[in-house]
Structure 1
Amino acid sequence: MKDFFYAIQDFFVNVALVPFDALATIELENWWIANLFSWIFIVIAAVAVVYWMLQLKKHSDNNEEDKSVSSHSFL
């Protein structure tokens, strides 16, 4: 059973988490490149939020949602 847990450790240390080690190395070597990755992720998130808001507006303009008060009679 001990070998099983060592195998899990070996997998995560030597395979699964190698990209994070590479990012840490890049950050120590060049601050600008490390921040470039952050800005790329921020831009992707901003584009996703704008897309989502436009989709919500499109569905709101089509009046697809039942906004009548009778749908919540308990109020």
Structure 2
Amino acid sequence: MTQDFFNRLVAAAASRWGLLIVVTKGAVAASQDAGADTLIRDHFTDWWVGKTMVSRVATPFSHSDYRTLYRKDDPFMKALDD
């Protein structure tokens, strides 16, 4: 994993350690469901899409402007849903 990925993971978790663990645990479960031997970014994306029902291109793990896409007070809601 790269520093870019870790920055995206922190953004996805809204800088909260407990939520970071939830996101990571969900990605591990997604990798197990897929029968994968290695945890990759796509597993985090798969979990996020399943949790939020947003497009794969609109996740913190795939969107180019991920830092502004989600609100820190409710990271599972799109910022545009205000």
TM-score using structure 1 length: 0.30
Instruction: Pick 1 or 2: higher relative contact order, CA cutoff 8 A, min separation 6.
Output: 2
Instruction: Say which structure is richer in helix.
Output: 1
Instruction: Say which structure is richer in strand.
Output: 2
Larger Rg, first or second structure (1 or 2)? 1
